[in-house]
Amino acid sequence: MRVIIPSALHSYTGGKRQAEAVGKTVAELIKDLDRQFPGFGFRIVDEQGALRPHIRVSVNLEVVASLDSVVKPTDEVALIQAFSGG
């Protein structure tokens, strides 16, 4: 399925704005992205296996709250990175 990558993470994907990945859940999808782009998964998932606080995942334009959320090969997934500042 197609995964949209946030611009802050393009350096991990060799400049790619999107990638193809496989998996039945968001967690499996991120594992596949990490297999393709080593180190990528650590930017999305923390040491406890949870989404990092500044990351949101959208499946077909709907934000999902869980890494266990089911995805289908026809879905479009977007990884969204929040920015903060002062």
Identify whether 18 is part of a domain: yes
33 assigned to some structural domain: yes
Is 15 contained in some domain?
yes
Q: What is the mean pLDDT of residues 41-62?
A: 95
Tell me, what CATH number does 61's domain have? 3.10.20.30
Write down the pTM of the prediction: 0.91
45 beta partners: 51
Sign for the pseudo-dihedral over CA of 17, 61, 32, 38: positive
What is the reported pLDDT for 82? 82
Overall domain count for the chain: 1
In a domain, 86, yes or no: no
Residue 17 maps to a domain: yes
Query: In this model, does residue 73 exceed pLDDT 70?
Result: yes
- Residues 60-76, mean pLDDT to the nearest whole number: 95
> Quick check: 84 pLDDT over 90?
no
* Higher pLDDT among residues 86 and 22, named by residue: 22
